[in-house]
Each structure stands twice: as C-alpha cells, then as structure tokens.
Amino acid sequence: MTATAVREAGTGRPHRPRRTGRQVRTLTRRDQLIVALMVTIPTLVVVGLVWGPAIGTILLSFTDWNGIGNVGDINFVGMENYRNVTTNYPPFQPAIEHNVIWLVVFFLGPTLLGMLLAVMLDRQLRGSRIYQSIFFMPVVLSLALVGFIWQLIYSRDQGLLNQVLGTQTDWFGDPDINLWAVLVAAGWRHTGYIMLLYLAGLKAVDPVLREAAAVDGAGEVRTFLQVVWPVMRPVNIIVIVITVIESLRAFDIAWVINKGRNGLELISTLVTQNVIGEASRVGFGSALATIMIVISTVFIAIYLIQVMREQRR
Amino acid sequence: MSPRSYGAGGVPAMAIGRRTMLKGMLGGAGALAGLPLLSACGDDSGGGGGASGTVTFGSNWSDDVPKKGIQAMMDAYGKGKVDINTVEHNSFQEQINNYLQGGPDDVFGWFAGNRMQFFAEQGLVGDISDVWSDIGGGFSDAMKQQSTGKDGKQYFVPIYYYPWAVFYRKSVWQEKGYEPPATLDDFKTLAGQMKSDGLTPLAFGDSDGWPAMGTFDYLNMRINGYDFHVQLMSGEKAWNSSEVKTVFDTWKGLLPLHQTDSLGRTWQEAAQSLLKKESAMYVIGMFAGQQFPEGAERDDLDFFPFPEVDSAVGADSVEAPIDGVMMAPRPRNEEGAKALLKYIGSAKAEDTYLKSDPNNIGAHNDADTSGYNALQKKGEELVSKAKTISQFLDRDTRPDFASTVMIPSLQEFIRNPNDIDGLTKKIEDQKKSIFGS
C-alpha cells in the first residue's frame, strides 16, 4: 500500500513543479517547528536508545569494567574478553548450540504449525474466533504466568505431566531433556503469534485470485501453493524475520525456569547473568552481547537487502 | 498535519518499539553504562541534611515474616521517623550495584563477609567505625570481624544469623531408632540403613544453584579446615589443588545418598520431601523451618552439626551467614542514620525482630534467649561453641565468581561427578581470569 501511495505522490508532482519550491519557503513558523520536532525527537530516541547503547556495548566489550566507578577508570583490555568467552567459558559453546537448535526447531515446528493453523482458520470454520482466541492466548499471557503454568506441568515431584504419564522424568533438571521441554513451552507461544500474523496476511489476499484459480480448475492445495503463497511473499518474509529474531533473543522462559543454566544456556541468559546482578562483569557480558549483535546483524542485513530489492521492483 | 496523520505514524512507532526492545536487550550493558553518570550527580546533591528528621531505610526483608519483624523493630525505635522502602529480596540483590551507585537509602539491609567487603572496597558503603565504638561491646569478636572491611574499618551492623546444619525430623528418627552421627563414616553407615528402610537419606534441590554450596563449604572446612576455606575463597589457593579435588571426590561418594534429579528441584521442594517423611536428612540453613507449618510439625524439626571427616581438622567450624544493615557513603541524614544503626545494634532491637521471625538467632551477645524455641537455643549453642564461623560460598568470595563460575560448575559436578580433574581445571582457569582483572 505504501508503495502505491509513493508512486501516486510521485506521479502527482509533475503537475505542479514550481509550487514545490515555494511551498517549503511558505511553511509557517509553527509548521517548521513541528517538522523540526518530528525529525529531531525520533532521531534522538533512535540514537539514544538503539545506537548509543549498541555502540556503548561494543566499546565496553574491550574493557574490564565491573559496573562501578567513573567511566574514566575503565581499563582497556583489548580482545581479552573475547578470548575468555571463546576459550575459557564453558557455558558459551552450549549457548550457541542451543540458540541454533532453537532456531531450527522454531522453523520446523511452531512456525509451520502456526501457518497451517492460519490456513485452516481462514476457511470460515464455525467458531473460528474461539479457536483464534485460544491459540493466541499464550502470546497475551504475562511471562511470570507462563513460567508458573509450565512449572505446574513440568515439576518433577508435583507436576501434572509426571502424574498423568506415571513417569519420574526430571523435565527441568535433566540437561538432555529440559531444552526440549522449554522449546515446547516457547513454541506454544510462538505458534499463536505466527498464526495471527499469517491469518492477517491471508485475509488481505484478494478473493478474486482464489475464484479465478477455482474457475481454472485448481484444487485447494494447488491454489494455495501456486496462487496464495506467491502473493503472501511479504508476509512470509516477516514471518521468517520474526522467527529468527525470536530465536536469537529467546530468553524469558529459560530465565524463569533456572536463570538459563544447566542445559538451558542461551546467549541472552549468559549476557544477563554477567551484566545484571551482583556479578557485574560488564566488560565480559558486553563481549557476549556484541557477539549476539554480530549474529543478528547478519540476519538483519539479509532482510534489508531483500526488502530493498522488493522496493526497486 | 491533521491529527489523523498521527494514526499512520503509529505503525512505524510500534515497529521501532519492537526493535528497541531487541536492541535494548542487546545493548543492556551500554544502557547500564549511563547510570553511574547520573548517580554521581545524585550523590553530590545528597551531601547536606538536618540532624533530626526522617531516616530512609532500604529493606530487602520482603517475605511476610521478616517484613513484619523489620516493621516491628522500626516501630519500637523511639528517636525519629524511619521511612521503610521494601524491595523484593532477589531483585534487591540483583540491583545492588545500581542501587548503591544511584543514591541509596540512608540505611539498608545487606549481608556480612566478603559480600560486604567487596562493596566497601569500592567506596559504595559508609564507614561506621564510630558507631561500632559504641555498640562494639555487645558483639563477639567473630561478629566484629565479619562486620569489618579489608581496611580495618567497620561497615556493617549484624542483626541475626542462621546456622547451616543437617536437619531431620525427630519423630522419624525416634521411630527408626537413628542416632545423630559424629563422623562421616557413621554418617554413611546410617545413610545405608536409611536406604534399606526405604527412605532417601539426603533431601537435595539445586535448581537455584546456591544450595549445593552449603554442602561444598562444609566438606571443604571439614577436610581442609577453615583457613583453607578462607584462602580458597579469596583466590589465594588453587581450585585444581589436590585439597579441592579431595573435597569433590568425597562428595562424589556421598552423591548416591542424595535425592536424584536435584537440578530440577528447588530447595523448597526438597524441604517438602523432608516434611513428608520421604527423606531423612537435609543439609540446609535454619530457614528450612519456614517450609514447616507452625506447630507440631515445626517443633518436630531438629538438627545435628555436619559430621567430622578428619579428626585432625575436627568439626568446630560452623557455616552461619549473618544478615544486617549498612549505611550509604553519603547519607542524606547522617546523624539520624548513625543513631538508627546504634539502635539496630542493640539487644532490644534484635529481640523485637526475632519475636516476629523466630527462624534466626540474634547476633547481639545480650539478645534475649529466654524466648527462644528449642531449635534456636540449639543453634545458638552450636555457633557460640564454634571456633570459626564462615559465611557461605557466595558471601565469602567475589560475587561475580560465585554466580558466573561456581553455580554452573557445581551443577556440572552434580550432573557428571566423574571428571573432577577437568572440572577443577576449568574452575581455576576462570578464577584466574576473574581474580586477575
């Protein structure tokens, strides 16, 4: 929609080429002020809240700062933190592995499931609203509540799951199992999120396309794969990006369960363990955060290239 | 510029919100960096202040029972108004760094030992040596030592302590005819007996990471002595030394006696298994009583000191963490704060607190013991007979080392107790990188 709007504005311009120059000059004081504010405030917010901290983090990652004292007292230690992270920090490697597992599982599980649910719900089932609410519920629930719900289900001694199955599985304590248990919990939330996004996308698909496909004799599956899917391309990209972001910043449920230790190491929990709290290894934690920034940047770059190519077309 | 155009602007605003959240998290470290600058201003402006007036008190006693105790203690203070700001216990700990740098309350709750000295060394805590010259007579040397910073000045006023020991239910032991063991060999024999009686010898839950430290500390102090504990905690001794390996090796022999799957269990859940008579013993602090309903069941709780391992070392070291209060480096109302500290360091104030929270023991020499229950009396006796008192692994060593190295390492050991050489080497390598900086 924005693309068409831009094009219209573009085509509109040639009709009044002389006016544009004068218009800028005839802006009232008030308008100038408003324009200035509208440019300055978002810029300050973005620089102050996004770029400032990000660059600060990168700089701090080369120091041994412990979060106490003046900025002037900070010692630069070069690559020391990075060397320690990679060679002298046992939780680091599992954390990377867990983030990758998280990403793969999210793609193969909740994301596909969420899309499937969206396609099903798009077919005007009876009670479709109720299903939507049920699947979307986990996204709305607060983190503390979600943690509590899964604690009740997974607790080894008092949990629902072990009672029903009659087993003694240590769902949260066994490092070979707990990541999968948490992925189920996190996937439960993610499915609803993707479902809603995709459903919104499907609703926007022009019904004429489907009708045309049906007239041409295409079945349901073929219509979806060859007509709807290509039209949904922008939504698909958003879904992919959101899944990647959610996997990289996966944090909350693992943190609620055991502060991201013992099989639940994630880069984000390691950053938090080191930076927040009494520990305050700010330099070391910043090195971990910087590694995370670098990984995210790769995905963000891919996304931006994709979007720009789209716009050029 | 019609108002409607703000509606269209709302969408990108939300998109920024999402990204800010992500990057805000990534840049968490950077965001923290800004805080000290702000706090520096706060500290300077808070220099002055009248002699009389309100004293602010930052309390981390947020659970119901201790909260009432603190309230009662402050209500009984006759000399001025105390403004209590209670913060959830764990959040208070997690935010302590920013709290101390961002203009803390005049007086605030904290822990004794290295955990106090660490912040005193950074100049984030006020020197209260003059308060101690008034109240010092009421405390034992051990208490004073735990309140003293590395520079020889006092920074801390103790309120109470709670010993760690091996807890059990009297009724279960009477029924089965168990006797408290004095040595580790007796302990193992008894545990074997318990197993054949269908009980789990030792309740154990280490989901939070710190409860296992109690067992490590006791084994270390029984095998290598208190001095070694202190040197190990201060970074002087190596973690891959034969002494530490012996500790882990002994512990490995005891692990089959512990409740299995302990890494998914909280200490509270482990205490429940003792309450439900599924486990026979539990190495934990006196606060375990909080998990026992008041009345017959709490009265059924008893303990014996952690058994002796080496007769040459003995069993006269007790792990008894002390909780108390400290003063801000530049309190808004210094005179009032010091008067309040003198009051808190009195037997009367501690008695008032303990009346509400009888799961601890008063730190003051003259604390009224007549109101103590059997467990408190026994705890007091245990500590007063002790030659040396340790705090706890995470209070005796650097906080960054305890939380980022020791918790994962001890959990790793519990998961796989067979690679002691590899584990201790990894701990030592990380210790060097943290203590060296």
pLDDT the model gives residue B30? 39
Q: Which one has a higher pLDDT value, B70 or B14?
A: B70
Nearest CA in chain B to A154: B264
Contact in structure between B259 and B280 (CB atoms under 8 Å): no
Q: Which residue has the tokens 């304590």?
A: A173
Task: Enumerate the H helices of chain A as residue ranges.
Answer: 2-12, 17-25, 29-46, 52-60, 80-87, 92-106, 112-121, 128-140, 143-154, 160-165, 178-203, 207-215, 220-223, 229-231, 233-248, 252-258, 267-275, 282-312
Query: Measured between CB atoms, which of A170, A275, A277 is closest to B264?
Result: A170
> For residue B369, what pLDDT band results from cuts at 50, 70 and 90?
confident
Q: Is the pLDDT of residue B375 over 70?
A: yes
Q: How far is it, in rounded angstroms, from Cα B272 to Cα B279?
A: 9
Residue-by-residue DSSP string for B14-56: HHHHHHHHHHHHHTHHHHHHHHHHHHHHHHHHT----SSS-EE
Inform me whether the pLDDT recorded for A247 exceeds 80: yes
Residue B83 has φ and ψ, to the nearest 5°, of: -100, 110
What band does B307 get if pLDDT is binned at 50, 70 and 90?
very high
Kindly indicate the confidence band of residue A172, based on its pLDDT and cuts at 50, 70 and 90: confident
Cβ-defined contact of B404 to A279 (cutoff 8 Å): yes
The average pLDDT across B418-422 equals 95
- As a whole number, mean pLDDT of residues B67-85 equals 90
Q: What is the pLDDT of residues B101-122, one digit of tens each?
A: 888 999 999 999 888 998 898 8
- pLDDT value at residue B229: 95
Q: Which of B434, B388, B436, B389 is nearest to B409 (CA)?
A: B434
**Residue A313's pLDDT band (cuts 50, 70, 90):** low
A85-144 residues touching B, CB cutoff 8 A: 88-91
- Put simply, the answer to whether A53 touches B31 (Cβ < 8 Å) is yes
What confidence tier does B437 reach under pLDDT thresholds 50, 70, 90?
Answer: low
A72 close contact with B: CB closer than 8 A: no
Instruction: Give the count of Cβ contacts less than 8 A between chain A and B.
Output: 180
> Which stretch of DSSP H or E encloses residue A264?
none
8 Å CB contact between A185 and A150: yes
As for the ipTM of the complex, it is 0.73
What's residue A261's pLDDT? 85
What 8-state DSSP symbol labels residue A164? H
The C-alpha of B132 sits at a distance from chain A's nearest C-alpha, in angstroms, of 27
User: Where on the phi/psi map is residue B295: left (φ > 0), alpha (ψ -120 to 50), or beta?
Assistant: left
Task: Report residue B156's pLDDT band, with 50, 70 and 90 as the boundaries.
Answer: very high
Interface with A, mutate which of B263, B278, B416 (most A CBs under 10 A): B263
Q: What is the pTM of this model?
A: 0.78
Task: Look at A289 and B1 and tell me if their CB atoms are within 8 Å.
Answer: no
What residues in A contact B37, CB-CB < 8 Å?
71
Which tokens sit at A45?
């917010």
**What residues does B308 pair with on adjacent strands?**
B183
Side-chain-facing half-sphere of B104: CA atoms under 13 Å: 32
